[in-house]
Amino acid sequence: MKLKKVITLILILTLFFGYTPAESFAAKKTSVDIDNTISYINIDWWKSFDDAILTDYILKAAESNHDLKISSLKVEEARQNKNIQRSKEMPSVGIGAVPALYKLPASTSSDGLISLPIYASYELDLFGKNRDKTKSFDKLTEISAQNERAAYISVVSAVGSTYYNIVKLDKLINLQEKIIKDRKQIYDLMKLSNEEGLISTADTVNANKAYVRANADMIELKKSRERLLNMLAVLIGDTPENKESFTRIAYDELVINKSVPDAINSDVIENRPDYLSSEIMLEKTGIDIRAAKKDFLPSFNILGLISFSSTEFLSKMNWTNAIAALGGGALLPLFTGGAKIANLKLQKNKYNQAVENYKKTYLVSLQEVNDALCDLKLGNEKYLKTLESFNIEKSDFSYTQMKYNEGIISNLDLLQKKENLLVTEKQLTNDKIDYFINQIGLYKASGAKI
């Protein structure tokens, strides 16, 4: 009776708890953990822009961007692959039920039989082959996590750059409206002067062409803004249909409150996700070489089987009706067609590739950080020079207004001078926004650790 109870208990446990560790883990974790990955983007750095609207878009992207969700799910995929490999380090136990109907010779009747086989197998990992393979999958999980971090940095950088380009286009469209208005006035004045014989028809035609060209430029600016609003919608996981409700800071409220660093510590490279990924890949390929060498060693297996047979279910399931076996063995393949040697050479080749990729990644990282710092420094210098030029142009326009008020120059001369001021302000707008985008470029190049 005790044996019957044990068998019944084993059957129940198998039905309810007969999952591998990987299956159990997958059942518990089915969603993307945003709270942990939000740390990738260094949100305090974004808050230092003092723009709550921008910060809100960054957080929306971190939570709702579909590329980021995919990257997080790939990390989970890598974890489950590791768990599948880890299960190979553990024993495998199973139970079955085999009903049968049989008739013996010299008998006119048939009888029923049911067998309950319980089997177990286990590979003794004496040389650590399976352990090394699990470590290799663990490294792939770490690489996947770094790829996820890189995706977060890339997406939020794209959000920031897109946002500031939209702010720039808002300002440029505003300035272009003033240019169109002035060119219309210039054309009307020149047309009137032409009718009075004061200027040539060619000058009037050129003024009309400038007016038409200004309207064409306006269309291009509006098209660019529409495209960027569509892009922003996708980046934050929203639909482009809602783009008209996307708010942003006014250009004139932008304040440059971030200083330009003189230099960037080379240690920031060690925090870049691509550099860390190449470093981890180097470790992984080293483990793979070790595992390939251990494939030449024999494997040791333990096998166990016990089967209870009875004509009545669970009534006579005792040791008398049992078939049991326990054994083990060692297996050493003598000839595999060169597969193991080729695999070892392949893993060594991958290791050499990983070494070269590691060296390349370090150099490329240095280049990108230095390029980003150069863009920021020179972009800042250009902005300051353009600001100086704009202030000079503004002073010159004030002087021109005084001459116009005193009747020294015509309204046409004043409008042309005003257009020069507007054109300079457009350049200033471009250079100022470039400064913010260059800050984001340095943030991305340094792996969000500045």
What residue ranges do the domains of the chain occupy? 1-30+93-124+302-331, 31-89+125-297+332-445
Quote the pLDDT of residue 16.
Answer: 46
User: What does the DSSP 8-state code read for residue 269?
Assistant: G
- Sign of the Cα torsion 304, 309, 315, 318 reads negative
CA 368 to mean position of chain CA atoms: 18
Predicted local distance difference test score (pLDDT) of residue 113: 72
Mean pLDDT by 10 residues, the chain (450 residues): 50 46 40 65 93 96 93 94 92 84 70 80 89 95 95 97 98 97 92 86 92 96 97 96 94 91 87 96 97 92 83 61 84 87 96 97 95 95 96 93 88 90 96 97 92
- Backbone CA torsion sign across 264, 265, 269, 273: negative
pLDDT at 319: 66
The pLDDT, as a whole number, for residue 314 is 54
Segment 363-367 long-range contacts (CB within 8 Å, at least 24 positions apart): 365/269, 365/272, 365/274, 365/275, 365/445, 366/266, 366/269
**Hey, how many other C-beta atoms are within 10 angstroms of the C-beta on 277?**
21
Residue 252, both tokens: 């004139």
Query: What per-residue confidence (pLDDT) applies to 444?
Result: 96
Q: What is the pLDDT of residue 313?
A: 54
Interatomic CA distance for residues 83 and 288, integer angstroms: 18
Domain 31-89+125-297+332-445 = CATH 3.30.200.20: no
HSE, CB side, 13 Å, CA atoms: give it for residue 316: 9
Q: Record the pTM.
A: 0.85
Does the domain spanning 1-30+93-124+302-331 belong to CATH 2.20.200? yes
